[in-house]
Amino acid sequence: MSSNVSRRLMLKGTAVAAAGIALATPTALAATRSAMAGMDHSGHTGMSGMPAEFDEVYKGRRIVGKMAMSGHEMHHGGFAVTIDGRELHVMQNGDGSWISLVNHYETFPDPLALTRAAVDKLKGAQLAPFQMN
């Protein structure tokens, strides 16, 4: 008899937990969406979520960042960066931060900050070509 009571209590508890999850999930998702909508996602512009494009001279180096139309950049955040016309391989992390081959273990809020830091780190050296398999 005690095993029946235990089974009944277990089923009742499971049903209550499932109902609680089913009721809480839409509320939690809505709260997350509204909180995310008001955030500035580190350089992202507009509703596209893409970083702002740039074309400037920084410490005597021409740095350009723009949306990638094709190639392997599409798999790494959809953004292409060059320093003096040479590609700087950049990747977007899952949390929205950015890394490059030059600063691989340091994250940056957007590609512009990342590119400026790469110029600083290069100290006048040219980027070497990078081959993807």
Query: In the numeric block, which tokens belong to residue 58?
Result: 């920084």
Q: What's the CA gap between 96 and 76, in Å, rounded? A: 11
Under the banding of pLDDT at 50, 70 and 90, the label for residue 47 is: very low
Same domain? 25 vs 58: no
Find the domain containing 62 and state its range. 54-122
Q: What's the CA gap between 73 and 90, in Å, rounded? A: 8
Same domain? 75 vs 104: yes
pTM of this structure: 0.60
Q: How many CB atoms lie within 10 A of CB 14?
A: 10
pLDDT digits (tens, 9 = 90+) for 53-102: 999 999 999 999 999 876 555 556 688 999 999 999 999 998 999 999 99
Total count of domains within the chain: 2
CATH number reported for the structural domain that contains residue 85 in this entry: 3.30.1880.10
Instruction: Please give the DSSP secondary-structure letter assigned to residue 16.
Output: H
Give SS3 for 45.
coil
63 half-sphere exposure, CB direction, 13 A CA radius? 21
Does residue 51 register a pLDDT over 70?
yes
